[in-house]
A and B are shown apart, each in its own frame.
Chain A
Amino acid sequence: MSQDAIRELTEQRYKYGFVTEIEADQAPPGLSEEIIRLISAKKGEPEFLLQWRLKAYRHWLTMVEPRWAAVKYAPIDYQKIVYYSAPRPKKQLGSLDEVDPELKRAFEKLGIPLAEQARLAGVAVDAVFDSVSVATTYKGKLAEKGIVFCSFSEAVKDHPDLVERWLGSVVPAGDNFFAALNSAVFSDGSFVYVPRGVRCPMELSTYFRINAENTGQFERTLIVADEGSYVSYLEGCTAPMRDENQLHAAVVELVALPGAEIKYSTVQNWYPGDAEGRGGIFNFVTKRAKAMERAKISWTQVETGSAITWKYPSCILQGDDSVGEFYSVALANHRQQADTGTKMIHIGKRTRSTIVSKGISAGRGQNTYRGLVRMQKGATGARNHSQCDSLLIGDECGAHTFPYIEVKNPTGQVEHEATTSRIAEDQLFYCRQRGLSEEDAVSMIVNGFARRVLKELPMEFAVEAQKLLGMSLEGSVG
């Protein structure tokens, strides 16, 4: 493929660039104990949560921003960020029809008609809009089975005992710089509790969306699957075009009690910045799961957006015979930088983990896989298999792989395979000779490369993700 053709293919503008105007109820910029008290008060939180936030904040003050990731960005001024903003609902919302029409239009532009999505796909959508949930659906149906699926704020009000018991049990308040920041200021997010032995009858889905100018977004998600239960959770996001960098520091905690299974799938498509990398989202996410005996955690992610992605969905395989899986496709185009991977911490006996990572680099994108497989002393008979493949499009991009392996039990087995390939000229020519356009050929080859991961996604999501991969690489501006 010629240089020009590659450039044309990779210079597609972000298709979801628009800003929705909704009145925002905002705190002044900056971070202090006062602001944290304000957030907590605004949300009418119980004392334990305020104290938890303050503890995290005080810890955060003693920490420094991590610099070990292979990403470069201008320093973030944490005092310029607005830590609280909420859309002002005109009144309590009883049904989807009452949702702000402005918000509905935003979802439609994203190709996610809220009501339709929920009805057709049988998906309950908890739409998080600018940090506060404004619509939660299918609650009744889930309630029949005793499943709690609501915004984090609602959970704090309605199920404070569950929140107090599990919040921070996987990602402690002071875990890392970004997690501590999140713990201090998180605004909202999702909460799921699936009772013992219950199989959640539908995919639970949250579409995150960053909106008001200059609003750092600090989501907090907590999913607890009680003994022998099952739940599949989908997270998808896309953001409007803007000039200033936006910080996003989310925390996701998953707890799988004995015999439970949690499947967590993400399609991340936040604004990646323009061709020069200006204005994209900084995405510093802490995602971690704890699996007790015979429990299973499966992370699947398709990461195509953000200017910077710093994200390592991890599994603590605490219980004997627990299983952890990580399936990832990360795409870095233009000047995007992705440093992503996983940590598999084997503690229990006969714990097993699988890592499949597919990195795609195009334009001047930099894609780094960083993964840790640790087998503790007690992890007798633990096994891991890792497969990390990189695909390069053009010759100005980069792919890097850093596998860290620590085995403290002699019976542990770790296998690691890695490959790097390019979209070859002969592959493109072969496809074009059969009638495919260059764009379709690239899209097809990339999707083929990512297939092992895409097939782990729930059906509706897989189709969306496939389109997204093609779209993130396609040419034809406008």
Chain B
Amino acid sequence: MLRIQGLKAKIGDREILHGLDLAVNAGEVHAIMGPNGSGKSTLASVLAGREVVEVTAGTVTFDGQDLLALPAEKRAAAGLFLGFQYPVEIPGVANLYFLRTALNAVRRARGQEELDAMDFLALAKEKLKLVKWDQSFVQRAVNEGFSGGEKKKNEILQMAVLEPRLAILDEIDSGLDIDALKVVAGGVNALRAKDRATILVTHYQRLLDHVKPDVVHVMAAGRIVKSGGPELAHELERSGYEQLAPPRGEARAP
């Protein structure tokens, strides 16, 4: 479904991804772990089409399509969803309105009929159950005044409404209490299907206890340096990244 080969990317003059390879098949859940600053969020940004990150080499295909050729909104329409590490506030725009506009934009791009206010409300009510929220949250402005954990839940709500084929969730588990973690994990699991895939960027095993990954990758200094099964996450939890990271010099000089 997703195939990344030799991906290099820079922000300003600084190269952050130094030749990264990754393949994710439909039906799989992948976890990406790695030290702070290793480029996990940068990778997520590149995949979602953020323009401040410039791709200098490599290819990315999504269902065989050249992903890098598409603007961000077309990638969203193609079924790619990014759960942000730091969700953004949009003052004055009601969450429900934002959700409906987003869903209808995506539906329009896919040649589907738009949902009217009534149908959408019914859908939203259904999805709200998933995050155990009442309607007050969707009447508030997008993420404005939301707590850290509430913002993460809001990402899950958006994902549930948009039903992406590939969800990249960047530290969706950070700052969550135990109940919220279960809610978020439930949201991710609810979307698990043969024709969908998920990439979880995380620092902790505890999310992976609830969402069992098929493959775990370790990212260091702009590359995937090791991949393995779920046991790799446990190993990391015990011994940290030290022995896995390549010597600094090597990572810096591509």
Contact = CB atoms under 8 A, between A and B. Distances in A.
A169 interface: no
B101 A436 contact: yes
Given A444-B93, A444-B98, A449-B91, A430 B52 contact: no
A425 interface: yes
B245 interface: no
Nearest to B73: A432
B144 to A, nearest CB: 9
Top 8 nearest A-B pairs (CB, nearest first) are: A448-B92, A448-B93, A451-B92, A434-B102, A432-B72, A435-B76, A435-B106, A435-B105
B203 to A, nearest CB: 22
Nearest to B82: A433
B72 A449 contact: no
Instruction: Give the secondary structure class of A's interface.
Output: helix
Interface in B49-91: 49-52, 71-73, 75-77, 81-82, 84, 86-91
A429 interface: yes
A425 B52 contact: yes
B141 interface: yes
Contact of A447 (B75, B88, B89, B92): B92
Interface residues of B, number: 32
Contacts of B105: 434-437, 440
A448 B143 CA distance: 13
Contacts of B92: 447-452
B87 A430 contact: yes
Contacts of B50: 429
B72 A429 contact: yes
A1 B51 CA distance: 8
Contacts of B22: none
B48 interface: yes
A164 to B, nearest CB: 46
B243 to A, nearest CB: 36
A435 B93 contact: no
Contacts of A425: 51-52
Nearest to B83: A433
Interface of B: 48-52, 71-73, 75-77, 81-82, 84, 86-93, 98, 101-103, 105-106, 109, 141, 158, 162
B22 to A, nearest CB: 20
A424 B75 CA distance: 21
Contacts of B75: 433
A431 interface: yes
Contacts of A1: 51
Interface of A: 1-2, 424-427, 429-438, 440, 444-445, 447-452
Given A429-B72, A430-B84, A436 B102 contact: yes
B88 A430 contact: yes
A410 B71 CA distance: 59
18 contacts: A425-B51, A425-B52, A426-B88, A427-B88, A427-B89, A429-B51, A429-B72, A431-B90, A432-B49, A433-B81, A434-B76, A434-B158, A435-B77, A437-B105, A445-B93, A448-B90, A450-B92, A451-B93
Residue of B52, B72, B90, B158 with most partner-chain A CB within 10 A: B72
Nearest to A421: B91
A449 B92 CA distance: 6
Contact of B72 (A424, A433, A444): A433
Contacts of A429: 48, 50-51, 72, 88
Given A426-B88, A430-B87, A432-B49, A437 B73 contact: yes
A240 to B, nearest CB: 33
A37 B73 CA distance: 63
Nearest to A452: B92
A346 B106 CA distance: 52
B127 to A, nearest CB: 14
A438 B49 CA distance: 13
B118 to A, nearest CB: 18
Contacts of A438: 73
Given A429-B51, A435-B102, 18 more contacts: A1-B51, A425-B51, A429-B50, A430-B88, A433-B81, A434-B158, A434-B162, A435-B73, A435-B103, A435-B106, A435-B162, A438-B73, A444-B93, A447-B92, A447-B93, A449-B92, A451-B92, A452-B92
A457 to B, nearest CB: 15
Contacts of B87: 430
Contacts of A431: 90, 102
B76 A427 contact: no
Contacts of B103: 435
Nearest to A2: B51
A442 B87 CA distance: 18
Contacts of B71: 432
Contacts of B52: 425
B101 A448 contact: no
A450 B86 CA distance: 25
A424 B90 CA distance: 10
Contacts of B162: 434-435
